[in-house]
A and B are shown apart, each in its own frame.
Chain A
Amino acid sequence: MNAPTPHRVNEFNVHVATVNGSGSQTANTTLLRSIFQMGVPVGGKNLFPSNIAGLPTWFTIRVNEKGYLARQKANDLLVALNAETAAADIAAMGPGSVIVVNEGISFPDVPADRTVHVVPLTKLVEPIVPDARLRRLVVNMVYVGVVSHLVGIDPDEVDRALTAQLGRKQKALAVNREAVRAGLEYARANLPPAPFRVERRNLTGGKILIEGNAAAALGAMFGGVTFVAWYPITPSSSLAEALQTYLERYRKDPESGASTYAILQAEDEIAAIGMVLGASWAGARSMTATSGPGLSLMTEFVGYAYYAEIPAVIWDVQRIGPSTGLPTRTSQGDLLSVAFMSHGDTKHVMLFPSTVDDCFQYGMAAFDLAERLQTPVFVMSDLDLGMNVWMSEPFAYPEKPWDRGKVLTDEQVERLGKFERYRDADGDGIPYRTIPGQKHPLAAYFTRGSGHDEQARYTESSETYPRVMDRLSKKYDTARRLAPGPVIDRAPRAKVGLFCYGSTAVAMEEARDLLRADGIETSHLLLKAYPFHPDVKAFVESCERVYVVEQNRDAQMTSLLEMDMPDLAPRLRSILHYDGLPIDAVTIMDGVRSGEREEVTVR
């Protein structure tokens, strides 16, 4: 046995390399949850292929008591179960790391400053599970036992986490328990602890672990969604599926089976958005969830909804494009195509959730905003936020009622003595609507994507068209203050501003701390919505330089900022990350550092 070495506490990454479809999810969740139960912040990222079974897949757990949970490039503990990728997986491990390899996997020599443990994971499970097919699944639990010994996870917490998942399947629970124990006992007898450890803290009490897509689904349910149409597409499918699961549980009468919602799987995304618009027009709270290729198909209808002023909530769980791109990799590449989606002069409202709590909040708020503004509202999530596991405070029950916007009842129509669907009666650019089925003879109107006047009548008039378009612009300006404002953290004396949105925020706090340690103070703006709130411009004005951090190639947010505040464009710099993996803090830090070095050189 090695002599005890000084070790790092609650600050390391565990990386598990397996094969897609091998059933490693329960094992990885058990590891994640058992550390979480020890009071230490964790985040889990699933890097998976566009494939059902057989291709390599990785799961990474970041353990960090400061609460930094963004991806890091380097890992500390590797579990290599996939023979195909083992050589590359092992080669990626740095000095001081610990590598657990399943016996039988061949790999090149490893430098002496890495510790390699060849463990007979498969052999250990043989006496427990006679069935070879089942064994393939249970073998994952053996590494749970091994890892828990190496990094010092309390076996009782492992058992609790396992029981929570499999408690209803007693037989499966027993077998998996035995596998964990086999791994643990083997490791205790044969392996020294790793130089990085978990120690109990009290930092996760009361917190939850959830994926962004499930959080979005919960928000939609508590926001009172009544209609959902969708078409399966990674990485948004789990949003619609989580919604279906929750709605069936909480919005369906257990006796009659009658539901207060409808969720339809459409034949394609064109039909999905068409159904959403039809239902919304008829008075339902309607939404869809999709990703890049689906949005491309929805384009024509989205322009229609903008011009005919029909509310719709569209979740865009972004993945890498163009075209099919990398369906299982994350991106923030849809901003420009969404902001101006469809032909002609169109512009749209976007919300940018950066946490699972945002996903929950915007799940509700997007409906209020879409119905208040009578226009499509896009919620720009991404694969990292949507499909990975995040720690959060439990979601708060909504205290506010919903806002269905400017809807006139028959009594109001009667009192007014007239109804003009597209008249800007209040000066905010937002007209009033009625709901099909209303009985008042003046309530009905004709909805069309062709030229129309304030009374919703067909017209090709050269006076009317620009008047309607200018009102739509005015409505868009109203959206600037209705949508959630940015979160700004101004540091005194800071000349540098950092600007981000969406899931990038997770890496930002860590990056700012790293920069501060390096002598660079930064102010920070976390954008929550587009069009830009007036505070956004004020922030850029208050900084000498603003680094806009984005997960796309073309600096799409920077372009939007430059369009909105061209006079401030010289202050904007871009830090771009677009390899499909979630951005990490070091990438941001390096971007700012090299930018600042150039500033000095120029002067």
Chain B
Amino acid sequence: MTTAAKNPAPGPPPGAAKNRIGLTQADYKGSESTLCPGCGHDAITNSIVTAAFEMGIEPHRLAKLSGIGCSSKTPAYFMSRSFAFNAVHGRMPSIATGVHVANRELQLLGISGDGDTASIGIGQFIHLIRRNVPVAYLVENNGVYGLTKGQFSATADVGTRAKTGRVNEIMPIDLCALAIELGCGFVARSFSGDPKQLRPILKAALSHRGTAVIDILSPCVTFNNHLGSTKSYDNVKEHDAPLHDVFYIPAHEPIMVDYAPGETREVRLFDGSRVTLKKLDHDYDPSDGMRAMVTLRQAREEGKFVTGVLYANPAKPAFDREVGMVEQPLSSLTLEQVRPGRGALEEIMTGLRTGAGAPVSAGGG
């Protein structure tokens, strides 16, 4: 058998630390990765495992969703006790929308790549944000197609060189700028090689009630890690320009660190948790969308990657509020709740008999 799958994680080592719901970190693992050794995506997978463990997420309350590509394979490599939907290429957002509306109690973690999101899936990505469907949407962005061996994606920077020597001349799509433009309530950029920054951002995204986009630079060690590639590990590391140090404080924990006034900014999230952004060189206000756009534009011109929480507006109402459904998940409604009574059918039939109750008129084209 050439199967890559392995059995879910074995039992925890004796004495392993437990989180607030009594699970160990091993309970958040998946089967072994089949990606190339050293792949940035595996580092992101590890950050997800740690973040979910530390947050004490109940595995059955989270659903993993993905599209197609190296990144979209990774949900198999973490949280094997969670349901997963590995969809068709570029269409995970529509799956997320349906899952959310069917069961608003499920927390959704979407894993995508730059090809899956910025090329084939750009339309659904835009509409996901437009609707503000609650999903933590991760783009594991390496600028190339890995599974098909190194073609440029739509996030490839101008002037970057492919392994074949070809140079990209076409403007990239900046997914963060696009998300901010669309009014996304949580937009961040991070780097797979900086778990210290990525983990709190992941936790914040999972605590946000709405679409949260994290564009994670995640170098492809096989097809895009050479000299001349703007998304090589070394180039990203060298040009990584963090906006701030990011800290995540869960709702159930008091603030432990005291900062001098003016040093930090705080974002209060839907579930009561907080993100604290500690000032580095400049003060950065994540509630200022215009400023965020300017910052991204400047960074691109300087060949830098600004990372951190670019924009946050946690008050934006999530999609289920817009739809106006009952509190109980639609998936658990009983027949009695969804089949109108005999009186309803009689009333409708009377209308159709007398002509007083025709529902809609024909026509169109």
Q: Which residues of A contact B (CB under 8 A)?
A: 20, 25, 29, 33, 46, 48-52, 161, 164-165, 167, 206-211, 213-214, 217-218, 221-227, 229, 234-235, 237-238, 241-242, 245-246, 250-251, 253, 257-262, 264, 266-268, 270-286, 300-301, 304, 327-328, 387-389, 394-395, 397-398, 401-402, 435-441, 443-450, 453, 457-461, 463-464
Contact = CB atoms under 8 A, between A and B. Distances in A.
Contacts of B353: 206-209, 394
B335 A401 contact: yes
Contact of A446 (B84, B106, B364): B84
Given A286-B98, A447-B86, A25 B364 contact: no
A358 B41 CA distance: 52
A533 B82 CA distance: 40
5 closest Cβ pairs, A-B complex: A278-B98, A274-B94, A283-B331, A50-B365, A279-B98
B331 A51 contact: no
Interface string B353-365: 1111011111111
Contacts of B325: 258-262
Contacts of B348: 218, 246
A275 B101 contact: yes
A282 B94 contact: no
9 contacts: A206-B353, A224-B338, A229-B94, A261-B330, A270-B124, A279-B330, A282-B98, A439-B58, A447-B85
B293 to A, nearest CB: 24
Interface stretch (B2-10, B48-56, B168-176, B258-266): B2-10
Contact of A457 (B3, B342, B363): B3
A46 B365 CA distance: 13
Q: Among B59, B94, B335, find the residue whose CB has the most chain A CB atoms closer than 10 A.
A: B94
B1 interface: yes
A398 B356 CA distance: 24
A264 B97 contact: yes
Interface in B30-51: 31
Contact of A227 (B61, B87, B98): B98
A52 B365 contact: yes
A234 B4 CA distance: 46
Given A206-B353, A259-B324, A300-B88, A446 B76 contact: yes
Given A444-B60, A459-B5, A251 B340 contact: yes
A515 B352 CA distance: 34
A53 to B, nearest CB: 10
Contacts of B326: 253, 258-260
B91 interface: yes
B124 A271 contact: yes
B95 A214 contact: no
Contacts of A282: 63, 98-99, 102-103, 106, 331
Given A161-B355, A279-B98, A327 B365 contact: yes
Interface in B200-231: none
Nearest to A282: B102
B329 interface: yes
A276 B2 contact: no
Contacts of B164: none
B63 to A, nearest CB: 5
B365 A328 contact: yes
Nearest to A21: B363
A458 B327 CA distance: 36
Q: Among B75, B333, B337, find the residue whose CB has the most chain A CB atoms closer than 10 A.
A: B333
A224 B330 CA distance: 11
Given A208-B352, A214-B360, A226 B102 contact: yes
A283 B360 contact: no
Q: Among B100, B102, B353, B359, find the residue whose CB has the most chain A CB atoms closer than 10 A.
A: B102
Contact of B360 (A242, A436, A460): A242
Contacts of B340: 221-222, 250-251
Contacts of B361: 25, 238
A414 B129 CA distance: 39
A262 B85 CA distance: 21
A321 to B, nearest CB: 15
B344 interface: yes
A401 to B, nearest CB: 6
Contact of B84 (A238, A258, A300, A447): A447
B20 interface: no
A217 B86 CA distance: 31
Contact of B98 (A33, A213, A225, A277): A277
Contacts of A267: 123-124, 127
Interface string B282-324: 0000000000000000000000000000000000000000011
Contact of B364 (A234, A286, A397): A234
B219 to A, nearest CB: 25
B182 interface: no
Given A257-B324, A259-B325, A445 B356 contact: no
Given A282-B106, A436-B63, 15 more contacts: A161-B355, A165-B355, A167-B356, A258-B324, A262-B323, A271-B91, A271-B124, A278-B94, A278-B98, A282-B103, A283-B329, A397-B342, A437-B60, A437-B329, A457-B31
Contacts of A437: 60-61, 83, 103, 105-106, 329, 331
Nearest to A285: B338
A260 B105 CA distance: 15
Contacts of B58: 439
Contact of A234 (B75, B127, B365): B365
A3 B143 CA distance: 88
Contact of A283 (B86, B332, B356): B332
Contacts of A223: 339
B331 A246 contact: no
B81 interface: yes
Given A271-B124, A300-B88, A447-B84, A277 B3 contact: no
Q: Among A213, A260, A463, find the residue whose CB has the most chain B CB atoms closer than 10 A.
A: A260
A446 B86 contact: yes
A229 B127 CA distance: 14
A445 B355 CA distance: 50
A443 B84 CA distance: 12
B349 A208 contact: yes
Q: Among A209, A224, A259, find the residue whose CB has the most chain B CB atoms closer than 10 A.
A: A224
A401 B2 CA distance: 45
Given A262-B323, A444-B82, A48 B362 contact: yes
A224 B365 CA distance: 30
Interface in B86-122: 86-88, 91, 93-103, 105-106
